[in-house]
Amino acid sequence: MLPFLETLLNTTLTVFTIMASLVYCTVFSLFAFISSFFIYVAINQIVLFASKKKFLNSKFSLLKKYYLASLHCHSYYDGALTVKDIVLNAYKNKYSFFSITDHLEPKLSIDPSWPFAYLKSLIKKGKTLCGLSLKLINNHTIKVYNKKVPDSHVMYLIQGVEISAMDKGKKTHIGIVGLNKMPKPYQALDYYFKKYQKENVLIMACHPFSPNNCGMGLLNLEKYKKCIDFVELNGSFPLPFGYLINSKTKRVANRLKMPTIANTDSHIKSNYFNTFSFVFSFSFWTSASCWFFF
């Protein structure tokens, strides 16, 4: 073979070997990275599952000390359960404070005042909800209890809404619980924070780090820190997104010293009652400790 051709062949072979090794290393590292991430998430899930089991076993003894709350879910307007099914099951699951927070989205013909109005209409007619008694406590609270059973469990159903506020042309979700009537839709974030500072309501930053679901993001959390009662850990995201988003939320909330609350934000049947936030009293605005399971 000609020496020139031999050198060319050798060089080509060397370049090809280097390139093949590089490609192999990159693919291998990528594979190793992705698999270690999933192993990490899987281990976390096993630990979480074990603690969930332990928690559920001790849930009833804990309930002697604390109240259970869940303050963000959707009725069949854009969820999966009817108001009746939500209330009956929330009561059965021993929640003490519960809120249905449908979207304030008149453009989509969603009426977030409907769940509360429906229950109020039952009270007006003197009806029960499948045997459960309902009593209007104030303009935004309905007591749910079983009249026939002495010392029965009591649940307070609080009127709530998930508002689509506007922030730099984008929709941003905030949750308001304990309001008497629905506000004007599609106003600026500033408008709602100003309005609700004057009212005795609970303000939640819903899923703040989910840009595709209208989370308010870090800058707004920092800006409105003093106006927000709770930063939400959200039970509606599938794995691994739920894990990633909620870990970030918890980290940032700790850094900003903001309390967190775990809510289901249920739109599908299976996750209406999968988060547990413990509160210490009826005036739970100030503190809550969360038990949160995806």
Binding site for Zn ion (CB under 5 A): 162, 173, 206, 265
Nearest approach, Cβ of residue 207 and Zn ion (Å):
6
Q: What's the rounded Cα separation, in Å, for the pair 139 and 292?
A: 30
Question: CB-wise, 204 or 288, nearer to Zn ion?
Answer: 204
φ, ψ (nearest 5 deg) of residue 138: -155, -170
Cis peptide before 240 (omega within 30 of 0): yes
Question: CB-wise, 134 or 208, nearer to Zn ion?
Answer: 208
Burial class, 269, CB count within 10 angstroms (exposed 0-12 / middle 13-18 / buried 19+) = exposed
Nearest approach, Cβ of residue 31 and Zn ion (Å):
35
Comparing C-alpha atoms, which of 237, 243, 235, 245 is closest to residue 275? 235
Which CA distances in Å does 95 have to 70, 98, 114, 118, 278?
7, 7, 21, 20, 9
Residue at shortest CB range from Zn ion: 173
Nearest approach, Cβ of residue 151 and Zn ion (Å):
34
Nearest approach, Cβ of residue 108 and Zn ion (Å):
13
Question: CB-wise, 229 or 265, nearer to Zn ion?
Answer: 265
Nearest approach, Cβ of residue 214 and Zn ion (Å):
6
Burial class, 212, CB count within 10 angstroms (exposed 0-12 / middle 13-18 / buried 19+) = exposed
Residue 172 CB contacts under 8 Å (≥ 6 apart), including other chains: 164, 165, 166, 189, 214, 215, 216, 220
Nearest approach, Cβ of residue 103 and Zn ion (Å):
7
Question: CB-wise, 132 or 177, nearer to Zn ion?
Answer: 177
Tokens at 237, concatenated: 């995201």
Question: CB-wise, 104 or 279, nearer to Zn ion?
Answer: 104
Tokens at 273, concatenated: 């009652």
Question: CB-wise, 63 or 110, nearer to Zn ion?
Answer: 110
